[in-house]
């Protein structure tokens, strides 16, 4: 069995999940979260059991309550709606998503037209597009790149959702540039390091694997992309599962080598459960294939750190004079 590394939690996901956990410790239940904090059923279920309440919009949150914005980010309109309800917000947006938001604002200020490569309806795309809706057009696929219309092909820039397939994104850019030769690149790659690293790792194991199992939820864009990348890289078959219970034993028939990886919002415990399931069925020898080392850590949201520090000061014992 080949186990891809890196896999699982990235720095932005870890930061967002810990932010909800710390908010619950500090304020008690309930703490509200707009949308899923990260796209993983297990994480959402575990936080719900601890007292987090997940809502679709701010109008479902009682006035004055604590609300966490998910790792995928929100538009200015959502922030304004939260402020109008006097909600005490904690912004758990991944810093790499925030970077794309800032790029959108800066290019819009230059009156550039922005082609945002990403999936229509994805929370991250909605948040980024909401920063400058009059300047942004979403390009959902390479095929859309062949037909999208622009106002000024000489003042055009592309940005992207952070969790896309690197190869598909660059194919979309190639098709756009074929039509619009003066298309500008963003100042740095928008696809996050974790998404890219996990795709490189699965490309490494896929050619040797009769079957690749990707642990991750169906609404996790980066997990779904890993299945596609594995197949494109030569895996005999590839399937996504939320956990070990979803692995179909029929997939293992005639299989000699299984590859395993997980999306960036997946806790390692779910991967280990899959490894145990496979070991019980004859795939007990595990070789970890490492293509990169990750040591990036993001600090908790500023307001939350300030509240935690204030809480720690209040809990210090008073020394008698």
Q: Which residues are catalytic?
A: 124
Q: Are the beta carbons of 205 and 289 closer than 8 angstroms?
A: yes
Do 256 and 210 meet the contact criterion of CB atoms below 8 Å apart?
yes
The SS3 of residue 139 is strand
What's the full length of the chain, in residues? 321
Which residues touch 182 (CB under 8 Å, ≥6 apart)? 153, 154, 156
3-state helix, strand, coil in the chain (%, to 5): 45, 15, 40
Provide the H-helix boundaries in 51-151: 76-84, 95-109, 123-129, 142-145
Determine the 3-state secondary structure of 167 from DSSP.
helix
Q: Which of 22, 15, 5, 42 is nearest to 266 (CA)?
A: 42
Query: b/e per residue, 261-290, with b = 16+ CB within 10 A?
Result: bbbbbbbeebbebbbebbeeeebeeeeeee
């Amino acid at each position: 069995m080949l186990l891809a590394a890196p896999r699982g939690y990235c720095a932005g996901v870890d930061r967002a999940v810990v932010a909800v956990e710390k908010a619950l410790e500090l304020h008690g239940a309930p703490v509200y979260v707009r949308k899923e904090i990260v796209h993983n059923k297990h994480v959402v279920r575990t936080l719900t059991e601890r007292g987090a309440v997940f809502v679709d919009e701010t109008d479902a949150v009682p006035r004055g309550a604590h609300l966490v914005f998910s790792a995928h980010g929100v538009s200015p309109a959502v922030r304004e709606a939260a402020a109008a309800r006097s909600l005490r917000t904690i912004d758990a947006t991944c810093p790499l998503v925030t970077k794309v938001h800032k790029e959108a604002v800066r290019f819009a200020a230059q009156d550039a037209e922005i082609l945002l490569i990403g999936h229509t309806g994805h929370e991250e795309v909605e948040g980024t597009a909401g920063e400058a809706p009059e300047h942004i057009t979403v390009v959902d696929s390479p095929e859309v790149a062949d037909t999208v219309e622009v106002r000024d092909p000489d003042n055009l820039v592309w940005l992207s959702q952070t969790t896309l397939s690197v190869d598909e994104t660059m194919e979309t850019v190639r098709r756009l540039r074929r039509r619009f030769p003066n298309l500008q690149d963003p100042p740095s790659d928008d696809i996050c390091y974790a998404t890219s690293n996990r795709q490189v790792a699965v490309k490494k194991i896929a050619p040797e694997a009769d079957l690749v199992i990707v642990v991750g939820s169906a609404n996790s864009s980066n997990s779904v992309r890993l299945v596609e990348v594995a197949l494109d890289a030569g895996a005999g078959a590839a399937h996504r599962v939320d956990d070990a219970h979803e692995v179909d034993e029929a997939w293992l028939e005639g299989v000699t080598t299984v590859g395993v990886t997980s999306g960036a919002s997946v806790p390692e415990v779910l991967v280990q459960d899959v490894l145990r399931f496979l070991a019980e069925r004859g795939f007990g020898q595990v070789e970890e294939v490492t293509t990169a080392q990750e040591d990036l850590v993001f600090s908790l949201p500023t307001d939350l750190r300030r509240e935690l520090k204030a809480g720690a000061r209040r809990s210090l014992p008073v020394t008698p004079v």
